[in-house]
Structure 1
Amino acid sequence: MRTTKTYFVYILTNKSNKTIYIGVTNNIVRRVFEHKNKLNKGFTEKYNINKLVYYETFQYIKEAIKREKQLNRFPRSKKEDLINEINPEWNELKPPINYL
């Protein structure tokens, strides 16, 4: 039985990879589903951002929030470099489901 929670910092983009969105969640499967189905009104719905291209895992929410803020301060080129390191084709990643 898992006793620690896992938190995720994730990067989504749209079909054309023109717009990047960075978020944090404790349930990446649910969160990606919400983005794909436009369940939350706002930025990601407006720009059709629903393609998961990057994520990191954290044991503590404070660490995840700190990383999310750090990534949001990065220039676009540095965000692209980060994605390119693990996903050079910017393929849509499947959210990990083995963390539950």
Structure 2
Amino acid sequence: MSNRYNKVLYVGITSNLIKRVWEHKNKVVDGFTKRYNLNKLVYYEIYDDIETAINREKQIKSWPRKKKIELIHSLNPHWDDLYEKLSN
């Protein structure tokens, strides 16, 4: 998740991506994403196995910002909000 200025990044895990992004967009849950207005889904990965997903989340969280930005750019060079494509 990011904001419209692409200045802040958030990495998280969920079992229901569409619902979770909707919650971020509508500021339903207090916390980091609400505080920094992170309401733009710019990258995601889907896994069938929760352990694999958790390990990947930890891996990405440990990366420097530059590497996270490169990952986003590799699949979403314009930083489009991917939520609309997911929810349709």
Counterpart of 2:65 (choices 68, 76, 82) is 76
Cα distance per residue 1:10-62 (max 9 Å; x no partner) = xx001100000001111101000000011110110000001000000101100
Query: What amino acid maps onto 2:69 in structure 1?
Result: E
Aligned to 2:81: 92
Counterpart of 2:26 (choices 22, 30, 37) is 37
Q: How many angstroms apart in 2 are the aligned matches of 1:25 and 1:83?
A: 19
Q: How many angstroms apart in 2 are the aligned matches of 1:97 and 1:72?
A: 25
Aligned to 2:35: 46
Partner secondary structure for residue 52 of structure 1: coil
Partner secondary structure for residue 83 of structure 1: helix
Query: Structure 2: any 5+ residue segments left out of the alignment?
Result: none
Query: What amino acid maps onto 1:60 in structure 2?
Result: D
Number of aligned residue pairs: give it. Answer: 87
Query: Structure 1: any 5+ residue segments left out of the alignment?
Result: 1-11
* Structure having the higher Rg: 1
Query: What amino acid maps onto 2:42 in structure 1?
Result: V
Indicate the structure with greater helix content. Answer: 2
Q: How many angstroms apart in 2 are the aligned matches of 1:31 and 1:67?
A: 18
Query: What amino acid maps onto 2:10 in structure 1?
Result: Y
Indicate the structure with greater strand content. Answer: 1
TM-score (norm 1): 0.83
TM-score (norm 2): 0.94
The structure 1 segments of at least 4 consecutive aligned residues displaced by more than 6 Å after TM superposition are none
| Identical positions, percent | 51
